[in-house]
Amino acid sequence: MTIKIGFICTGNSARSQMAEGFGKYYAEKLGKDIEIYSAGSNPSGYVHPLAIRVMEEKGIDISKNRSKSLEEIPLKELDYVITLCGDAAENCPVVPNANTYHWGLPDPAKAEGTEEEKLQTFRKIRDTIQEKVENLIKNI
């Protein structure tokens, strides 16, 4: 039976996109029958260029991904829902009947400073997401 995982955030431009990329990578690498989705409660309309860049550093291409709304994924069919919203002001949706986990992570798209400082923030969040996604997929 195929397991379906949805990584849900507000904008679907950075955190959930990186999680989707790692989810697909680890599902394939570990030979798991898992479908991976990501979506946002208020999609930004784009995948953040720095998210694309830091994922390329890990050999994962998310450049063809697009920001999706909750209506564009099989929300009611999800077995696992992972919300990645970090700020209390963000609007993480609730999906009934799914195993739900909340990984409260700051939004790297809100990082300020030089390009290099922003990249460092994206890398830190990326590495946290990578570790969490790998552990999730291994344990399913």
Catalytic residue positions, numbered: 9, 85, 92
CA 127 to chain CA mean position, Å: 12
Q: Which residues have a Cβ under 8 Å from the Cβ of 55 and sit 6 or more positions away?
A: 17, 18, 21, 61, 62, 126
The encoded tokens of residue 128 equal 């946290």
How many Cβ atoms sit within 10 Å of the Cβ of residue 110? 11
How far, in Å, CA of 11 to CA of 68, rounded?
Answer: 9
Q: Which residue has the tokens 């990329």?
A: 21
